[in-house]
Amino acid sequence: GENVEQHPSTLSVQEGDSAVIKCTYSDSASNYFPWYKQELGKRPQLIIDIRSNVGEKKDQRIAVTLNKTAKHFSLHITETQPEDSAVYFCAAPGGSNYQLIWGAGTKLIIKP
């Protein structure tokens, strides 16, 4: 079955700098890769996703890149702001469109 590994577990960056979070997956048939943001005490919310027929997708300050050959995908946040502080989760399909296997999460800390 699918296995998703996420790194780093904690990332501390200076406000205004960029942050990159990386996930690797094991199932080469996986075709959908979402990223969710969970603020402290809140529910996870989808911030961006990418399908396997696309190599990169951007939405303002966030972007996701996908390398199907190496089986990894990354979240890039530019010009980080205090409101970017949260836990970020990646996920990949667990063998079907009905399951998602989640990474363990990355706690992003934005230092003022």
Given the rule CB under 8 A, which residues bind another protein? 6, 9, 32, 34, 43-46, 49, 89, 91, 93-94, 97-105
Alpha-carbon gap, residue 22 to 7, rounded angstroms: 5
Q: How far is the CB of 15 from another protein (least distance, A)?
A: 26
Q: How far is the CB of 16 from another protein (least distance, A)?
A: 29
Q: How far is the CB of 39 from another protein (least distance, A)?
A: 12
Q: Which is nearer to another protein, 101 or 110 (CB)?
A: 101
Q: How far is the CB of 31 from another protein (least distance, A)?
A: 11
Alpha-carbon gap, residue 70 to 93, rounded angstroms: 17
Contacts 24+ apart (CB under 8 A), 101-104: 101/1, 101/2, 101/3, 101/4, 101/25, 102/4, 103/4, 103/5, 103/6, 103/23, 104/5, 104/6, 104/9
Q: Which is nearer to another protein, 10 or 28 (CB)?
A: 10
- DSSP bridge partners of 92: 101
Q: Which is nearer to another protein, 51 or 111 (CB)?
A: 51
Q: Which is nearer to another protein, 93 or 108 (CB)?
A: 93
